[in-house]
Amino acid sequence: MANRHRVYLVPGFFGFTQMGDKETERIAYFQNVPRLLEQRFHERGIDARVHAIASAPTAGLEARARDVFREMARTANEDDAQLHLVGHSTGGLDARSVVSPRMAREAPDFVKRVRSVVTIATPHHGTPLASYFDQGGVGKTLLRYLWLFTFLTLHRKAMPLRTAALQACYWLVLRSEEAKLPPNLFNQVVRLTADLSEAEREDLIRFFGQVGENQALIQDLMPVRMRGFNADTADREDVRYGCVVTGAPPPRLSLHLLLTPDALLNGLFAFLYAKSAPLSRELQIPERTPAQTQALQDVLGRRFESKSDGIVPSRAQVWGEVLHVAKGDHMDVMGHFDQPPEYISWLKSGSHFQEPQFRAMWDRVIDFTVGGAATVHPGNEEAQRMSIDG
């Protein structure tokens, strides 16, 4: 089955696949990505299947790699297809771990069939945002509220008092250094979402229980810890490595933006962008190849080193061949951008990343992983040009 492929999508921080009972109300980490890939595989005449897998939300990198082994094992041995790992954010580090010589002794045999690893918006050299969240107990507790904020923003159901819940979470995020976080405040906020189904509420509580139990991932993503990870996690010689780099325009909060319905999300993005500290001395980035540097400059400009996607500094995302550079925020490339009703954004970055850029980026990922002759569609060349020119 030399021409059969399986593509595994590995999620990042808060690594879930989907939450919600009804398809029309469900939120998914890889929003519309599997559907797009399957469509493009069909158009190219490629025999490929897409699997979105889950991992422990905030457990350390070693535990997450074992989760990926376990999830892949459900399908990888059904045939002898070539395997490909596509990891977003921390999921890119998980993908590198899975195929690394360091994990070879405990890796299942099917890992030998992995032919490519693509990392998207991945903190290969860490992110100062992790160092911020590691400061004291407040940052770690804050993660639970940050995810609740995300959940409420992305959920398609118009819940009673959702605005009040969002405002409460937002207040905690912006005032985290001074805020006193009583243990029962999270439950009070959850009760504001009164019309969640019982199953959804149970999923939400169980998810946050996992986040509360193990938050080793925060420290693992600190730049100082990532230097050790990279030293121990060598690339495998028979695997091709490519990356997608993301960078959003620096936030500009104006009176006009503060008066819009998206004021909370604009403020949250500005806060996270600042804490991601692209020029931090914590970051020690190895020398790039001329081709890597040129790819970043062509899209993000000569001052690309000061750019971030709101979570990870752009220059910290480079690993292997730079397949694509997108003017977008950390979640845009997963399909969480403003183009309702199919797409819902929670990082209001003002990047103007929409479906043409989304499709062009994922076409480039397909080119690198499974290949195949692309079918020419009107507008494809324009979409690629827009993704580069912004």
Say what the pLDDT of residue 3 is.
85
Residues of the chain with confidence (pLDDT) below 70: 1-2, 14-27, 136-215, 253-264, 339-346, 372-390
CA angle 179/254/349 to nearest 5° reads 75
Q: Which pLDDT does position 32 carry in this prediction? A: 84
> According to the model, what pLDDT value does residue 209 have?
58
Predicted TM-score of the model (pTM): 0.81
Count Cα atoms within 13 angstroms, Cβ side, for 12: 23
Indicate the CATH number for domain 4-127+221-389.
Answer: 3.40.50.1820
Looking at residue 273, its pLDDT comes to 92
Domain residue ranges in the chain: 4-127+221-389, 131-217
Burial of 262 by CB count in 10 Å (0-12 exposed, 13-18 middle, 19+ buried)? middle
